[in-house]
Amino acid sequence: MTEREKILARVREALKVAAPLSGSHGAGSTTVPVATSRRLADWQGTFGTTPNAAGGTPALPSSARQWLPRVGESFEEQLALFQKNAAELKADFQLLASRDELKTALAKISAAENWKRIASHRGELTDSISGALNLPIYFTDKNYNVHELETCDAGISECDALIAQTGSVLVTNRSAGGRALSVLPPHHVVLARREQLVADLPAAFELLQQKYAANYPSMISFITGPSRTGDIERILVLGAHGPKKLTIFCL
Amino acid sequence: MTFVSQFMKQARVMVGDLRHRKIIRAALGNYEIARDQRKASFQSWESARRLAAETKWDALNHLDKYLVEFTAKIEARGTKVHWASTAAQARTIILQIVEEKKARSIIKSKAMTAEEIHLNDALEHAGLNVVENDLGEFIVQLRHEAPYHIVFPSMHLTRGEISELFQRELGSAPTNDPEELTMIARRALRKKFLTADIGITGANFAIAETGMISITENEGNARLTAALPKTMISLLGIEKILPKLSDLALFLPMLATAGTGQPLTCYNTMYGGPRQPGESDGPDEWHVVLLDNHRTELLADAEQRDALHCIRCGACLNVCPIFRNIGGHTYGTTYSGPIGSVITPHLRGLQDWKHLSNASSLCGACTEACPVKIDLHHHLLQNRRNAAAQQPTLKEQIGFKSFVQLANHPKLWAFAKKFARLTQPLQKLVKGTRLDPGYHWTQTRDLPDFAPETFKDWWRKRK
């Protein structure tokens, strides 16, 4: 037998005895059969009110959305929430009316931080915006050298979504120029469109499924504020290993 | 020295260490405020806990099916999956990969499972250079110490101590600024990131539906570990399974809330394979090592199976009065605090580690704090019961047998009470010394005085 077979055999042997649900203090051990159903909704149908043997309260929660932090329904509410979350996370969020405005805002940061060279990837937004800086651009769409990327002052990328609930930016290595562009340079600039704003995490996962289910990118990342640590006396420091600054431009 | 005497000795020192207490209180005070705020932002934290517990219940109680699904999916994308029944097997697998690659420099992002199998020792023993790149882990590695806490490895150190450490080990200038200290580590580690041959990570979740692992972190060190080296190795316990990708919509914010009081940690990243055709970076090879190491034994204990729900958030440690007083290192285990006290006897032997289940006030704060509703304090009781049933101690056997005799013979009982009342003044003379029969209790506590007369006597007189 291979180790795989041995481990799976031990797992199957162990699962012959049903486990009580957490919180039932062992009282439910004989009343809950091992569910053959995959999900909890099915569960409810199969076992009626028995799953929580000790507590006895039925009505199993079926989706995460109804318990997670509340998000307003309108675009304005969601935008305001994203803005508030971004500010708390110490990310710079700017809503801009036009591409020209965006170019001006980006040029301002570039001048203030004295950028010499930037990194980016090919994309409809990145192509039209990054080029306007008149700086050398290092592209990460194909084989590239990490040492070169490391010397860039900023990484400019697109994204898959902005999530109002948490102030997160959803990127994949397909949408945002690989695995390292959004994390190696000291400043990560995200170029997003208004219609990319989604309400909450469940919506973000729905979007991932719709967009990629046939062939998922090998990296999917929720970026929630600039890199941080609290490992020294639990005091917040930004820029632990990833970017010290995260700027989100939204058109 | 046995594990229990080592534990007793160190615990005694730590409970009197006011400096330690001050550091831990300060560190956890802010955490508590943030955590409560985040919990309150949920529409219902309680319902979220139930959903999380039930999702994990589903995952664990169909673990065979989900493990098969997970490995089939992740292998289809070119990942090599290895199975390890024991810690030694896992170490051998990883060492073989490292040797095959002729790797010289290894970077490693935080992984408790790697601590569990003492991976760094094995790698160093083989003459390899392995550097922890989570800041807290980097600090404790420089100190040749185990992590103090499963989420905050260097929580027990002050900035002064860290500055001294960096001066000594990295030759940096002295500073008291946490930001500067962080930048010293960043610069030192950046070089390692760029030149490492192999990156080793853990995993917080393994998604069966899509064949992915999910890594939760704040610093970006795991992101870099999974992006730069040509070979990536991920080590995870078989219990990390979640059925669906969308389950993360619940687990990611709950882990952050319970773990650090954040709405979501800075980076939550899912990896579904090595670099795919057409992708510009990432490892050419990805090895996923699935570790049993006694987890199936815990799985076989249906009563305590839910201990495998643990998402290693550390919330039970943070609220535990025992942890807060004796500190993380006193446990002498990879997993400390209530969850460590529950699972260590399963992972490393009940008789050697049963004392951890006794070192509890059974206040239940851990059970209350657990985001996946592990019945922690009941499991501590079950460990006590199992330990006594498996191997009763002579002292307890004699004690209980004598008590049965006393309680079954009213005359003997009455005599014992009279005897105790009469001799109690003598006890005061030897109180807290080795001569005192109640030594273990009285060295730090007073024994209440017996009433001058028993209730029975009083009742009789009253008539």
Top-confidence residue, B241 or A44: B241
Q: Looking at residues A28-53, what average pLDDT do you find?
A: 39
Say whether A202 and B67 touch across the interface (CB within 8 A): no
Residues A163 and A52 in one domain: no
Residues A194 and A228 in one domain: yes
Per-residue model confidence (pLDDT) at position B254? 98
Report the C-alpha gap between B236 and A181 in whole angstroms.
27
Residue A59 in this model has a pLDDT that exceeds 50: no
pTM of this structure: 0.91
CATH number for the domain formed by residue range(s) B1-41+306-391? 1.10.1060
Residue A50 in this model has a pLDDT that exceeds 60: no
Say whether A232 and B159 touch across the interface (CB within 8 A): yes
DSSP state of A211: H
Residue A231 lies in a domain: yes
Inter-residue long-range contacts of A94-99, CB under 8 Å, 24+ positions, other chains counted:
A94/A247, A94/A248, A94/A249, A94/A250, A95/A194, A95/A250, A96/A249, A96/A250, A96/A251, A98/A251, A99/A128, A99/A129, A99/A251
Say whether A3 and B85 touch across the interface (CB within 8 A): yes
Tell me the chain A residues in contact with residue B179 when contact means C-beta distances shorter than 8 Å.
237
Residues A196 and A156 in one domain: yes
Per-residue model confidence (pLDDT) at position A31? 36
Tell me the chain B residues in contact with residue A27 when contact means C-beta distances shorter than 8 Å.
none
State the nearest Cα–Cα gap between B289 and chain A, in angstroms.
11
Say whether A38 and B282 touch across the interface (CB within 8 A): no
Tell me the chain A residues in contact with residue B265 when contact means C-beta distances shorter than 8 Å.
224
Report the C-alpha gap between A104 and A94 in whole angstroms.
12
The answer to whether residue B321 neighbours chain A at the CB level (below 8 Å) is no
Q: In tens digits, what is the pLDDT along chain B, a chain of 463 residues?
A: 799 999 999 999 999 999 999 999 999 999 999 999 999 999 999 999 999 999 999 999 999 999 999 999 999 999 999 999 999 999 999 999 999 999 999 999 999 999 999 999 999 999 999 999 999 999 999 999 999 999 999 999 999 999 999 999 999 999 999 999 999 999 999 999 999 999 999 999 999 999 999 999 999 999 999 999 999 999 999 999 999 999 999 999 999 999 999 999 999 999 999 999 999 999 999 999 999 999 999 999 999 999 999 999 999 999 999 999 999 999 999 999 999 999 999 999 999 999 999 999 999 999 999 999 999 999 999 999 999 999 988 988 999 999 999 999 999 999 998 898 888 888 888 887 888 888 888 888 888 888 888 888 899 999 7
Per-residue model confidence (pLDDT) at position A203? 97
Residue A70 lies in a domain: no
CB neighbours of B456 closer than 8 A, spacing ≥ 6?
Answer: none
**All structural domains of chain B with their residue ranges:** 1-41+306-391, 58-293, 394-462
* Mutation to test the B interface, candidates A11, A172, A211, A216, most B Cβ within 10 Å: A11
pLDDT tens digits for range A173-199: 999 999 999 999 999 999 999 999 999
Residue A51 in this model has a pLDDT that exceeds 90: no
- CATH classification at residue A140: 3.40.50.10420
What is the band of A52 on the pLDDT scale with cuts at 50, 70, 90? Answer: very low
The answer to whether residue A222 neighbours chain B at the CB level (below 8 Å) is yes
Residues A100 and A40 in one domain: no
The phi-psi region of residue A37 (left if phi > 0; otherwise alpha if psi is between -120 and 50; otherwise beta) is beta
Per-residue model confidence (pLDDT) at position B188? 96
Per-residue model confidence (pLDDT) at position A62? 63
Complete edge-to-edge strand list for the sheet that includes strand A245-250 = A92-95, A245-250, A187-192, A154-157, A118-120, A137-139
pLDDT tens digits for range A121-143: 999 999 999 989 999 999 999 99
**Residue B224 in contact with residue A242, Cβ under 8 Å?**
yes
| Maximum alpha-carbon separation in chain A | 71
Tell me the chain B residues in contact with residue A51 when contact means C-beta distances shorter than 8 Å.
54
Alpha helix locations (H) across A57-195?
Answer: 75-88, 99-112, 124-130, 146-150
Tell me the chain A residues in contact with residue B223 when contact means C-beta distances shorter than 8 Å.
179-180, 183, 221, 241-242
Give one DSSP letter per residue of A54-90, joined into a string.
Answer: TT--------GGGTSPP--SSHHHHHHHHHHHHHHTT
What is the band of A20 on the pLDDT scale with cuts at 50, 70, 90? Answer: confident
Report the residue of chain A nearest B267, measured CA to CA: A223
Rounded to a whole number, what is the distance in angstroms from the first to the last CA of chain B? 59
Report the residue of chain B nearest A227, measured CA to CA: B219
The C-alpha angle B363, B369, B371, rounded to 5 degrees, equals: 145
Distance of CA B47 to the CA centre of its chain: 25
State the nearest Cα–Cα gap between A100 and chain B, in angstroms.
30
Per-residue model confidence (pLDDT) at position A23? 66
DSSP state of A12: H
B residues 61-120 closer than 8 Å to A (CB): 61-64, 67-68, 71, 77, 82-85, 89
Task: Give the burial class of B398: count Cβ atoms within 10 A of its Cβ; 0-12 exposed, 13-18 middle, 19 or more buried.
Answer: exposed
Say whether A21 and B54 touch across the interface (CB within 8 A): yes
Residues A142 and A213 in one domain: yes
The phi-psi region of residue B320 (left if phi > 0; otherwise alpha if psi is between -120 and 50; otherwise beta) is beta
The answer to whether residue B290 neighbours chain A at the CB level (below 8 Å) is yes
What is the band of A146 on the pLDDT scale with cuts at 50, 70, 90? Answer: very high
Residues A79 and A57 in one domain: no
Residue A209 in this model has a pLDDT that exceeds 90: yes
Amino acid of residue B137 = E
Q: How many CA atoms lie within 13 A of B7 on its CB side?
A: 19
The answer to whether residue B219 neighbours chain A at the CB level (below 8 Å) is yes
For A146, the closest of B51, B134, B228 (CB atoms) is: B228
Reported ipTM: the value is 0.92
- Residue A243 has which token pair? 């970017």
Report the C-alpha gap between B186 and B101 in whole angstroms.
27
Q: What does chain B come to in residues?
A: 463
Per-residue model confidence (pLDDT) at position A35? 35
For B189, the closest of A143, A146, A241 (CB atoms) is: A241
Number of domains in chain A: 2
- Residue B269 has which token pair? 């990243």
What is the band of A25 on the pLDDT scale with cuts at 50, 70, 90? Answer: low
Question: Mean pLDDT across chain A, nearest whole number?
Answer: 88
Residue A69 lies in a domain: no
Say whether A19 and B305 touch across the interface (CB within 8 A): yes
- Residue B266 has which token pair? 């800075």
For B306, the closest of A22, A65, A217 (CB atoms) is: A22
pLDDT tens digits for range A77-102: 999 999 999 999 999 999 999 999 99
Say whether B228 and A180 touch across the interface (CB within 8 A): yes
Considering the segment(s) B58-293 as one domain, its CATH architecture is 3-Layer(aba) Sandwich (3.40)
Per-residue HEC secondary structure of chain B comes to: CCHHHHHHHHHHHHHCCHHHHHHHHHHHHHHHHHHHHHHHHCCCHHHHHHHHHHHHHHHHHCHHHHHHHHHHHHHHCCCEEEEECCHHHHHHHHHHHHHHCCCCEEEECCCHHHHHCCHHHHHHHCCCEEEECCHHHHHHHHCCCCCCCCCCCCCCCCHHHHHHHHHHHHCCCCCCCHHHHHHHHHHHHHHHHHHCCEEEECCCEEECCCCEEEEEECCCHHHHHCCCCCEEEEEEEHHHEECCHHHHHHHHHHHHHHHHCCCCCCEEEEECCCCCCCCCCCCCEEEEEEECCCHHHHHHCHHHHHHHHCCCCCHHHHHCHHHHHHCCHHHCCCCCHHHHHHHHHHHHCHHHHHHHHHCCCCCCHHHHHCCCCCCHHHHHHHHHHHHHHHCCCHHHHHHHHHHHHHHHCHHHHHHHHHHHHHHHHHHHHHCCCCCCCCHHHHCCCCCCCCCCCCHHHHHHHHC
For B51, the closest of A67, A166, A231 (CB atoms) is: A67
For B162, the closest of A29, A34, A232 (CB atoms) is: A232
The answer to whether residue B180 neighbours chain A at the CB level (below 8 Å) is no
Residues A145 and A29 in one domain: no
Tell me the chain A residues in contact with residue B71 when contact means C-beta distances shorter than 8 Å.
4
The answer to whether residue B302 neighbours chain A at the CB level (below 8 Å) is yes
Tell me the chain A residues in contact with residue B57 when contact means C-beta distances shorter than 8 Å.
19, 21-22
Rounded to a whole number, what is the distance in angstroms from the first to the last CA of chain A? 58
Beta-bridge partner residues of A154: A118
Host domain of residue A25: 1-62
DSSP state of A39: S
State the nearest Cα–Cα gap between B406 and chain A, in angstroms.
33
**Residue B260 in contact with residue B204, Cβ under 8 Å?**
no
